[in-house]
Each structure stands twice: as structure tokens, then as C-alpha cells.
């Protein structure tokens, strides 16, 4: 065999299904160093998810980072195992909480998890991610057992006194009895292994395998209701999924059973609370008729199918107490939605060029369609969309109808739906936080809206159309135009529900065209103007952060002097004492909405106290380490906003001159250089000549430099 063939053969090698085989005493000896050998499927799954790690936020695309950072600050992890299920982090956190409780022998170990949500919400993706993370994981199993029984179960054949001696001999101590708390009754097959020929029965005769879980062999199974002869039956799926997971898509769409016959789903009654399944044994005894089942059971369904199934039960409690319902909403983070589109576009064989804001606006529409449209205590839909996406926006609370800050238990281990960062007895915050908005929205938010399947279809067709154009480019405005067309097509779809019609009517409103140049734009075009304006200003001012920091230091210095009643201040810029710049202070404070003399003086006098309070709060969060806290121009949001407003106004003048069509306007050498450098920076942002011309043309047509707004 040539060296080349040898190398190729090595590369084509697969991992063996059986990693090792040894006698039962060796299993007990290994148990002390490897307690995970006796883990339940729930504990194995938790470990597999966490060992896969979390996403490195700094390596994520820039549009995702604010959302991921917000979740991290709340203690909500972004597990790599679910990375492709965009925007699912809070739902995943609930799933992991459920599994962790099951791993601790909580009642969740005797329940199945039922994911309820609309089409394209990610139910199947979540279940597939769980199956994928288990693929290749290893378990200790009794050799030849039809359900790959955990060897720890066999110890239940021994009397308590013997178990105490084994615990002492193996130095397992109380840990052995902790393992037995989640053990099941051994099946007849495993019992026969221990009995041997009956003359000298002993667990020492039992062989233990280290098996690799796989959907092709055992430990991972999928069952769907189907016609006779199509696919496996539920009993087979439960047996195959033992020691891992049983996934049941559309579980409650199972047809009604014939009169006098048991319903197929009745198998789940024992599979959950009893943790056992029928063995089809010919023997009659307490255990012979059943096989122990150790599997995470996940059902998927839509709200209608679940409701019809439960209403059709003579005793609904049989099922409701054996399942934990988890509503799976559509994604409500623009950055995550956009990333899903970007992922999809990467797999296309031929791709058009995309305006950097085209997919951002498409994602914005999808997310907005899933949220409650009406303003809530002055928090508009557009602001809520941005805050849900991790954007830091300062909004004073206007009433107590917005959640006030006390943590609520949502039944999933502590308010993961919203108030993860809030603590009991905490002083009510004066500004609206995203957790307040989540609580006010309730559990039914994002259960309807434009689904991911439809959105990917729209993105795909937009790409196909763009490839047939001369420029082979999708500009933001052309994408908005196509979205309008598609919504009109969707509105005409027969059989739409009332909720679906409402979603599409809202999208019509969000995408409305301008009847005239001076008309109020719709939600999407208004967001485009905000984003485009901020983008253009940033391009023309790459030193924005440095200039903002300098402006902050000047304000802080002069405000402190004014607050003390001083008329002069030692300004490092001039290396001498100068008069307090009252005009500069007033301009900044006017941008904050502070117009009265008394109000301005109060703010100046209390400025350093505000910074001290921020330092104290930050020190508490950083275990008293003040060296990790820095006061900057972004420390106080209202001051940050005022500095942005002042700087934006200065930059806007330069932009207006640089982009002017007036041939009589002579640009200075500095302005000419700035224009050239800025056009180069547009290319770095991802603009081609065609979409840049379209974007700057729109910017000039509507004089976006004159708009007021927060660039952040």
C-alpha cells in the first residue's frame, strides 16, 4: 500500500461505536474518579452543552456584539451548541435550567419538555442542536442491553448492607447512594447476565461497554406520527433513544386511535413519570414487563395541535402534569436575524453584492413584525426593537405600568424571560431597561410574525433578481421596494388567520412608500435614514471617539469650576488659567434639555457626585476593584447624547459641503482630502460604486445631515 493510500485511509477512519469493554468491578473503580459514568441522560446533555463552550463575543460580527454583550451582562450564556439557532439564547437558557433540575433528580427528570411555537420559530433547530451535541458522546452501558442500561442500576439488586460495604471498599462513600437515587430497576436481560447459569450469580460476571451515542445506532432517536408502515413506532423510538434523547416533532398531531385501542401517546405516560417502557416480555413480574428508560424527551408542536389534543382528552391532567411547556418565540434581535440571512447567503453558489444596510433593514422588518406595535409608556416600537438588540438608549420611566424592578419567578429558575439582572430589594431604577420591556410585553410576544422560512425565501429571491441586473447589487432602497412587493403577494395568500393578516397589514404600514418628498416616512425608511446618517457622519469623522473624549474632559473641567463658583480654570490645552467657558457649557446642557440657570448649576455641582456613584456601583459589580472602572464620555448617557449631538452638528456641516452638487463651491485642500478618504472608508464598510451612489444620492436628496438624532 502506498504512503498516499495509507494517509487517505487514515483520514477516512471513523470513531468506533464501542470504545472499551470491561467487567463490572472495574466500572465501580472508575466511578470514583469519573462520577459522570453514572450520569443520567439529562446530566450528560448539560455537560455536553457546556463543554462545547460559549461564543467569543469579540469574534462575532459587529452587528451581533451589542446583543451578545447585553445577554452576557445578564448572565445569559451564548452556547456554541445553539449558535446556529439565531436569537434563541433566552429560550436555550430555560432549556438548560430544565435539564439542570432534571440532572439533580428534580421532578423535571420525570417530565418531557414540549416546545410550542409557530412555523419557522426554531423548534426543530433547537431539537436538532440538542441531538447534534449528543452525537459522539460516550456512556457506560451493560453489554448487550436492549436499552443500553446504566450499570449503576444493577446495584439495586443488592441489599443495603452490602451496598454500604461496597461504598466503603470502593471509597465512593455517600456518592454511591447519590448515584442510586436516579437509578432504575434493572431489566430482565441485565438480570440474566448477572445470574449467569444460576449456580454462582454475581454482578462481577456482568460486562460493561463504553458506547458512543449516535442517531444511526442508539442513544438518539426521532419519532414523528405517520401512517402505518412509514417510519418507526413510538415504542421503538423510545428504546433507541434510551441513554440520550427522543425527539418527537409534531408529536400531538397523532391521529385518533380506533375504538377500544390505546392511544400511541399513552406510552409517554410511563416513559415520563415511571421512566420505563414496555419490554414485550413473556414473563409477568414487577419489572419483567418494562425496560428502564433514561432519556431526555422533547416534543414539538404548534399551539393549535396541543390545544386540540388536550381538549380531546377525558383526563387532560394525565399529560399536562407530565410535560413542561416551553413557548418558543420568534427571534426579536435584529443582529441575530441579520446573521441568519448572512449565513444563508454564504451557502448560495452565486451571490450579488449587498448594500451594508440592506439585510439590516430586512431583519428590522422581520423583528418589528413579531413585536407589539403600539407605543408603551412613550417607548416606541422602533426604540424597543433597538433596545431588544442590545442598544443602550436612555429613556426615563413615565409610569409604574413598566416593570419596576423586582425579580419575578417565571417557573424556569428565576425570571430568565426578563429580569435576570434585577435583584430583590433593589432601589427602583429611574430609566427603562430592556428587562422592563420584556416583562411588560408578556409571554405571548413574538409568537406570531414573519417567520424565518418566509424571510429566507424573500432573501433568496431578492438575490436571484439582483443577479439578473447589470450591477448585480442589492441596494437598501431596492430591497425595501422588493419587500413591499412580497408583502402584497403574501396578503393575497388564501386561508390566512386573523393574526397573520394583522402581521401583514402592520408590515404594509411599516413599509409605506412616500407619496411626496416631504411626507413622513414609514418605520423602515425612518430607520434607514437614522442608520445612513450615523454611517455617513462616522465615515467623515473617523476620530469621533477621540474628539468626543476631549470634549468631555473640557466640559468636566469647566463644569466643576463653574459649580464651585470659580470664574477661571487651569485648562491644560492652554497651559494656563482661562475664563470658564460658559457658552460651551450652556451649549452642551441645552443639548441635554437643561435650559434654566438653576437646573444647569445643579447639574454642574452634582456632576462629580454622579461619577462617584457610578464608581461605587461598578466597584460592587467588580468585587471592589476600582482599577477596572473608568470614567469616560459615555459614563453618563445624557451627557454622552449631548456630546454626540454637538459633534454631529459640526460634522454635518463638513458632510454637506463635501457632498454638495454646487459646482461653484470650492473645497479647500483639507476638505478635498477628507472627501477622498471618506469615499475610501465607504468601500471598507462594504459599499460598491453602485450602492454607494444610491446611498449618497438618497442622503443628499433628503438632506439627512439636517436631521437631529442619536447616532448611537
C-beta separation of 153 from 292 below 8 A: yes
Average pLDDT, integer, range 444-464: 96
What is the reported pLDDT for 343?
A: 97
What φ, ψ does residue 48 adopt, rounded to 5°? -65, -40
**138-142 and 323-327 strand pairing:** unpaired
What is the reported pLDDT for 706?
A: 80
- pLDDT tens-place string over residues 76-128: 999 999 999 999 999 999 999 999 999 999 999 999 999 999 999 999 999 99
**290-292 and 576-579 strand pairing:** unpaired
Q: Is the pLDDT of residue 411 over 60?
A: no
Give the whole-angstrom CA distance, residue 256 versus residue 268.
16
Alpha carbon dihedral 332, 334, 336, 339, in 10-degree steps, equals 150
What is the reported pLDDT for 259?
A: 61
Strand partners, 349: none
Q: Is the pLDDT of residue 311 over 50?
A: yes
Average pLDDT, integer, range 527-543: 92
Average confidence score pLDDT of the chain? 89
Q: Is the pLDDT of residue 4 over 90?
A: no
Among 145-149, 391-395, 408-412, 602-606, name the one with the lowest average pLDDT. Answer: 408-412
- What grid cell was written down for 192? 440474566
Domains of the chain and CATH, by start: 18-54+62-327 (3.40.50.300), 334-510 (no CATH), 523-706 (no CATH)
Q: Is the pLDDT of residue 286 over 60?
A: no
Among 271-280, 645-654, 657-666, name the one with the lowest average pLDDT. Answer: 657-666
Q: Is the pLDDT of residue 589 over 70?
A: yes
Q: Is the pLDDT of residue 419 over 50?
A: no
Q: Which residue has the higher pLDDT, 603 or 427?
A: 603
Q: Is the pLDDT of residue 3 over 80?
A: no
Burial 456-495 (b: 16+ CB within 10 A, else e): bebbeebbeebeeeebebbbbbbbbebbbebbeebeeeee
What is the reported pLDDT for 638?
A: 87
Average pLDDT, integer, range 542-567: 93
Q: For the chain, what percent of residues have pLDDT higher than 70? A: 90
Q: Is the pLDDT of residue 426 over 50?
A: no
Among 60-64, 195-199, 677-681, name the one with the lowest average pLDDT. Answer: 195-199
In the block, residue with C-alpha cell 461564543: 55
Q: Is the pLDDT of residue 415 over 80?
A: no
Q: For the chain, what percent of residues have pLDDT higher than 90? A: 69
Highest mean pLDDT among 398-407, 543-552, 625-634: 543-552
Q: Is the pLDDT of residue 405 over 80?
A: no
Residue 656's pLDDT band (boundaries 50, 70, 90)? Answer: confident
Residue 425's pLDDT band (boundaries 50, 70, 90)? Answer: very low
Burial class (CB in 10 A: 0-12, 13-18, 19+), 1: exposed
Q: Which residue has the higher pLDDT, 696 or 414?
A: 696
Average pLDDT, integer, range 40-47: 97
Residue 263's pLDDT band (boundaries 50, 70, 90)? Answer: confident
Vertex 241, ends 254 and 184: CA angle to 5°? 110
Q: Is the pLDDT of residue 427 over 70?
A: no
Amino acid at each position: 500500500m502506498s504512503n498516499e493510500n495509507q494517509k487517505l485511509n487514515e483520514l477516512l477512519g471513523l470513531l468506533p461505536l464501542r470504545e472499551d469493554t470491561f467487567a463490572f468491578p472495574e466500572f465501580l473503580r472508575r466511578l470514583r474518579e469519573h462520577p459522570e459514568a453514572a450520569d443520567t441522560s439529562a446530566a450528560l446533555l448539560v455537560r455536553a452543552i457546556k463543554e462545547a463552550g460559549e461564543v467569543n463575543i469579540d469574534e462575532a460580527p459587529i452587528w451581533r456584539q451589542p446583543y451578545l454583550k447585553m445577554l452576557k451582562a445578564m448572565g445569559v450564556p451564548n452556547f456554541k451548541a445553539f449558535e446556529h439557532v439565531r436569537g434563541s439564547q433566552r429560550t436555550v437558557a430555560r432549556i438548560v435550567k430544565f435539564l439542570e433540575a432534571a440532572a439533580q433528580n428534580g421532578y423535571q427528570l420525570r417530565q418531557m419538555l414540549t416546545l410550542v411555537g409557530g412555523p419557522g420559530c426554531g423548534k426543530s433547530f433547537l431539537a436538532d442542536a440538542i441531538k447534534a451535541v449528543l452525537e459522539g458522546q460516550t456512556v457506560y452501558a451493560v453489554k448487550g442491553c436492549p436499552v443500553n442500561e446504566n450499570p449503576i442500576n444493577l446495584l439495586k439488586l443488592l441489599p443495603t448492607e452490602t451496598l454500604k460495604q461496597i461504598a466503603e471498599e470502593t471509597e465512593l462513600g455517600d456518592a454511591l447512594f447519590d448515584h442510586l437515587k436516579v437509578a432504575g430497576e434493572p431489566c430482565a436481560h441485565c438480570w440474566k447476565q448477572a445470574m449467569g447459569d444460576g449456580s454462582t450469580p454475581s454482578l462481577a460476571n456482568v460486562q460493561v461497554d463504553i458506547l458512543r451515542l449516535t442517531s444511526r445506532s442508539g442513544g438518539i432517536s426521532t419519532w414523528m406520527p405517520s401512517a402505518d408502515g412509514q417510519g418507526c413506532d413510538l415504542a421503538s423510538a423510545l428504546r433507541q433513544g434510551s441513554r440520550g434523547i427522543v425527539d418527537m416533532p409534531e408529536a400531538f398531531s397523532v391521529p385518533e386511535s380506533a375504538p377500544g385501542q390505546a392511544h400511541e401517546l399513552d406510552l409517554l405516560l410511563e416513559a415520563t413519570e415511571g421512566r420505563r417502557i414496555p419490554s414485550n416480555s413473556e414473563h409477568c413480574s414487577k419489572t419483567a414487563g418494562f425496560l428502564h428508560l433514561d432519556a431526555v424527551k422533547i416534543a414539538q408542536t404548534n399551539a393549535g395541535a396541543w390545544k386540540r389534543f388536550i381538549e380531546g382528552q377525558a383526563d387532560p391532567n394525565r399529560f399536562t402534569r407530565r410535560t413542561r411547556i416551553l413557548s418558543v418565540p420568534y427571534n426579536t434581535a435584529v443582529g441575530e436575524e441579520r446573521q441568519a440571512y448572512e449565513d444563508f447567503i454564504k451557502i448560495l453558489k452565486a451571490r450579488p453584492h449587498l448594500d451594508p444596510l440592506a439585510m439590516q433593514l430586512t431583519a428590522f422588518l422581520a423583528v418589528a413584525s413579531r413585536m407589539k406595535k403600539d407605543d408603551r409608556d412613550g417607548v416606541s416600537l422602533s426604540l424597543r426593537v433597538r433596545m431588544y438588540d442590545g442598544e443602550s438608549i436612555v429613556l426615563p420611566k413615565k409610569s409604574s405600568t413598566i416593570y419596576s424592578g423586582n425579580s419575578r419567578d417565571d417557573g424556569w429558575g428565576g425570571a430568565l424571560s426578563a429580569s435576570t439582572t434585577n435583584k430583590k430589594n433593589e432601589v427602583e431604577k429611574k430609566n427603562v431597561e430592556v428587562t422592563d420591556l420584556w416583562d411588560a410585553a408578556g409571554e405571548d410576544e413574538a409568537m406570531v410574525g414573519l417567520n424565518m422560512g418566509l424571510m429566507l425565501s424573500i432573501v433568496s429571491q431578492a438575490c436571484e433578481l439582483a443577479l439578473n441586473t447589470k450591477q448585480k447589487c442589492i441596494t437598501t432602497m431596492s430591497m425595501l421596494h422588493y419587500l413591499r412587493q412580497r408583502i402584497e403577494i403574501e396578503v393575497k395568500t388564501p386561508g390566512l388567520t386573523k393574526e397573520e393578516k394583522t402581521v401583514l397589514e402592520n408590515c404594509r404600514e411599516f413599509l409605506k412608500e412616500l407619496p411626496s418628498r416631504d411626507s413622513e416616512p414609514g418605520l423602515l425608511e425612518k430607520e434607514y435614514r437614522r442608520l445612513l446618517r450615523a454611517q455617513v457622519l462616522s465615515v467623515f469623522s473617523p476620530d469621533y471617539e477621540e474628539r468626543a473624549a476631549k470634549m468631555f474632559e473640557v466640559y468636566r473641567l469647566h463644569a466643576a469650576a463653574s459649580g464651585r463658583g470659580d470664574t477661571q480654570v487651569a485648562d491644560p490645552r492652554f497651559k494656563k488659567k482661562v475664563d470658564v467657558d460658559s457658552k460651551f457649557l450652556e451649549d452642551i446642557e441645552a443639548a441635554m434639555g437643561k435650559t434654566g440657570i438653576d437646573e444647569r448649576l445643579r447639574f454642574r455641582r452634582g456632576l462629580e457626585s454622579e461619577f462617584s456613584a457610578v464608581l461605587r456601583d461598578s466597584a460592587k459589580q467588580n468585587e471592589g476593584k476600582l482599577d477596572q472602572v473608568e470614567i469616560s464620555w459615555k459614563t453618563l448617557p445624557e451627557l454622552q447624547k449631548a456630546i454626540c449631538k454637538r459633534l454631529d452638528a459640526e460634522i454635518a456641516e463638513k458632510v454637506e459641503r463635501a457632498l454638495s452638487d454646487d459646482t461653484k463651491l470650492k473645497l479647500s485642500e483639507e476638505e478635498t482630502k477628507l472627501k477622498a478618504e471618506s469615499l475610501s472608508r465607504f468601500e471598507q464598510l462594504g459599499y460598491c460604486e453602485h450602492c454607494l451612489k444610491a446611498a449618497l444620492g438618497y442622503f443628499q436628496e433628503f438632506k439627512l445631515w439636517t436631521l437631529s438624532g442619536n447616532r448611537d
